[in-house]
Amino acid sequence: MGVLILSFVVIVLVIAVRLFLYRTAITLRLKEWGHWVEDRIHVHQTLKVPELNENSQENIFYRKVSTYLNSLSTIEDSDFTNLISGKKPNSVVLSLDDDQIVADTFLGARLSWTNEHINDKINKKTFILKIKKKDKRRILQAYIQHIYRTSEDIETRCKELKLYMNTMTMTSSTSACDNRIVNRWSSVRLSHPATLETIAMDSDLKKKVKSDLELFLKSKQYYHRLGRVWKRSYLLYGPSGTGKSSFISAIAKFISYDVYDIDLSKVKDDSDLKMLLLQTTSRSVIVVEDLDRFVTSNNSSLSGISLSGILNFMDGILNSCCGDEKIMIFTMNNKEKIDQAVLRPGRIDVHLYFPLCNFNSFKTLANNCLGLKDHKLFSQVEEIFLTGATISPAEMSELMISNRGSPGRALRSVITALQINGDARLSSSGKNGMLLPDDTSSVAEDSNVYVMDGSCSVPVVKEIQKLYGLLRMKSGKKVGPSDQFSGSIERSR
């Protein structure tokens, strides 16, 4: 009898352990049985999404469904699926196998997709959606929009960005006299390594720019309701080597937009410029670097382009038909002598000033280039910055990179460069001995303007500005244009 009870207990224990060990698989099986029973009770409808439409052209929705289904987590859990190489180097994506069924849920409804191979006259492949009739009325439209949105997000994230440049080419017409030089776009892969993370920039300002861009991406209806073209334009200005061009690549990658970099010196005249703009696609960044060279009062270096041609390019009627879903970025080294018509909101919505280094940006670059968060020489660097000495981030990062083998040597080379710059400033402004920060950006009287360097707020800046204005008046120079907050997020580090 004792043996009987013992063996019974052992069997129960073994079953309990097996139930515990296989609980996940058992739960899954029970769930599947439950779904199997439920599916027998409800009436279903099947909807087909063929690869080609009746004219044997690609059915765009088929591609959207394919991108969407291949991103579902249920495809990862399925017994078998295909691993296909992705667009980006060394990337792999999951792809549904023939006749594979994948489950999905949306707004509480359970649906399933089958990747069916068929052999009719036109189509080889089709997706078959199986949905309960009672759910179809409730969720189908929203589900289709959900598929479109999700697949577009995935395509944007995975797409290889392109950099387009305008090149002058000869048309090849039959009669030689008709041959003429026209501007064409040629493209390469946008491979600039800069990202918003690698740019030494005040973190608050970086957040402001990111949220400004993210808000823009979601504002299609808002702009159209206002009767405005859905575009936003930025002016990046500041001394040479302060990160303007790098920042453009960083922005393009952040929003996954292609870049059209217009070299105005290669543009023959206003109509050529218009043609170039017409040939750009939406979801792109249109860039004009060193705009100040083309629109300063004397317009010396302008080729056949007129100032009004530039103004209309920036915010003219043409923009209404090909400016939608576009970011325009202009760079300048100095905007003091620029015609106000160029800088007005609508042409330039956001002004971003790229000043020379200060101690904050020095620390960011020391961290990026040398992996240093602190060092005994930091205090000496900070003291030199307080004298007003400064160099560009380009110079500073180069000194650090070329001495990255020895952080101490790198910092000493930065100190030497700053001392040389400090001495040069002292000798050039020796008279009043007053050393002003190199930031020559003018700060508006309006208390809305933000100078984002984390160490000063507007009132203090206003004092410097008044003092600066006084000094400049004495030296006879005009105080520069003031930026309004709605347009400018002034930056300094």
| Candidate segments 26-34, 102-110, 238-246, 483-491, binder of ligand ATP by CB under 6 A | 238-246
Query: Is 394 a residue that touches ligand ATP (CB under 6 A)?
Result: yes
Q: What is the DSSP letter of 280?
A: -
* Residue 236 Cβ vs ligand ATP, minimum distance, rounded to whole Å: 8
**Partner from Mg ion, ligand ATP, none binding residue 308, C-beta < 5-8 Å depending on class:** none
| Candidate segments 22-30, 112-120, 244-252, 388-396, binder of Mg ion by CB under 5 A | 244-252
Token digits of residue 206: 């970086």
Nearer to Mg ion, 111 or 163 (CB): 163
* Residue 460 Cβ vs ligand ATP, minimum distance, rounded to whole Å: 23
Q: Are strands 326-332 and 258-262 parallel, antiparallel or unpaired?
A: unpaired
| Candidate segments 113-121, 203-211, 235-243, 433-441, binder of ligand ATP by CB under 6 A | 235-243
Query: Is 66 a residue that touches Mg ion (CB under 5 A)?
Result: no
Quote the CA–CA distance of 336 and 481 in Å, as a whole number.
6
Confirm if 290 and 333 have CB atoms less than 8 A apart.
yes
Nearer to ligand ATP, 203 or 486 (CB): 203
Query: Is 358 a residue that touches ligand ATP (CB under 6 A)?
Result: no
Query: Is 242 a residue that touches Mg ion (CB under 5 A)?
Result: no
* Residue 472 Cβ vs Mg ion, minimum distance, rounded to whole Å: 27
* Residue 24 Cβ vs ligand ATP, minimum distance, rounded to whole Å: 49
* Residue 483 Cβ vs ligand ATP, minimum distance, rounded to whole Å: 18
* Residue 207 Cβ vs Mg ion, minimum distance, rounded to whole Å: 24
Query: Is 397 a residue that touches ligand ATP (CB under 6 A)?
Result: yes
Say which residue the tokens 């292609």 belong to.
258
Quote the CA–CA distance of 430 and 448 in Å, as a whole number.
34
**Partner from Mg ion, ligand ATP, none binding residue 203, C-beta < 5-8 Å depending on class:** none
Quote the CA–CA distance of 216 and 335 in Å, as a whole number.
25
| Candidate segments 29-37, 170-178, 240-248, 299-307, binder of ligand ATP by CB under 6 A | 240-248
Query: Is 296 a residue that touches Mg ion (CB under 5 A)?
Result: no
Residue 60 backbone phi and psi in degrees, to 5: -50, -40
Query: Is 240 a residue that touches ligand ATP (CB under 6 A)?
Result: yes
- How many residues in the shown chain lie near Mg ion by CB under 5 A? 2
| Candidate segments 2-10, 55-63, 195-203, 305-313, binder of ligand ATP by CB under 6 A | 195-203
CA-nearest of 220, 244, 240, 241 to 232 is 220
Residue 461: what residue type?
V
Q: What is the DSSP letter of 191?
A: -
Residue 200 backbone phi and psi in degrees, to 5: -75, 110
Nearer to ligand ATP, 208 or 344 (CB): 208
**Partner from Mg ion, ligand ATP, none binding residue 243, C-beta < 5-8 Å depending on class:** ligand ATP
| Candidate segments 23-31, 59-67, 389-397, 430-438, binder of ligand ATP by CB under 6 A | 389-397
Query: Is 245 a residue that touches Mg ion (CB under 5 A)?
Result: yes
- How many residues in the shown chain lie near ligand ATP by CB under 6 A? 15
Q: Which residue is nearest to ligand ATP (CB)?
A: 243
Nearer to Mg ion, 251 or 458 (CB): 251
User: Judged by CB under 6 A, which of 200, 305, 327, 414 binds ligand ATP?
Assistant: 200
Query: Is 296 a residue that touches ligand ATP (CB under 6 A)?
Result: no
Q: Which residues pair with 330 in a beta bridge?
A: 235, 288
Can you give the length of the chain in residues? 493
Residues with Cβ within 8 Å of 136's Cβ and at least 6 positions away in sequence, in order, are: 45
Residue 157 buriedness (CB in 10 A; 0-12 / 13-18 / 19+): exposed
Quote the CA–CA distance of 422 and 109 in Å, as a whole number.
69
Nearer to ligand ATP, 258 or 289 (CB): 289
Strands (DSSP E) found in 209-312: 231-237, 258-262, 284-288
Distances (CA, A) of 21 to 13, 15, 25, 34, 159: 12, 10, 9, 21, 43
CA-nearest of 195, 286, 207, 287 to 243 is 195
Distances (CA, A) of 266 to 95, 243, 328, 346: 45, 24, 19, 25
Within a 10 A sphere around the Cβ of 410, how many other Cβ atoms? 23
User: Judged by CB under 6 A, which of 115, 246, 319, 358 binds ligand ATP?
Assistant: 246
Token digits of residue 146: 């959900």
Query: Is 333 a residue that touches ligand ATP (CB under 6 A)?
Result: yes
| Candidate segments 110-118, 242-250, 277-285, 413-421, binder of Mg ion by CB under 5 A | 242-250
Within a 10 A sphere around the Cβ of 251, how many other Cβ atoms? 24
Q: Please report, as ranges, the residues that interact with Mg ion according to CB under 5 A.
A: 244-245
Q: Please report, as ranges, the residues that interact with ligand ATP according to CB under 6 A.
A: 199-201, 240-246, 333, 354, 393-394, 397
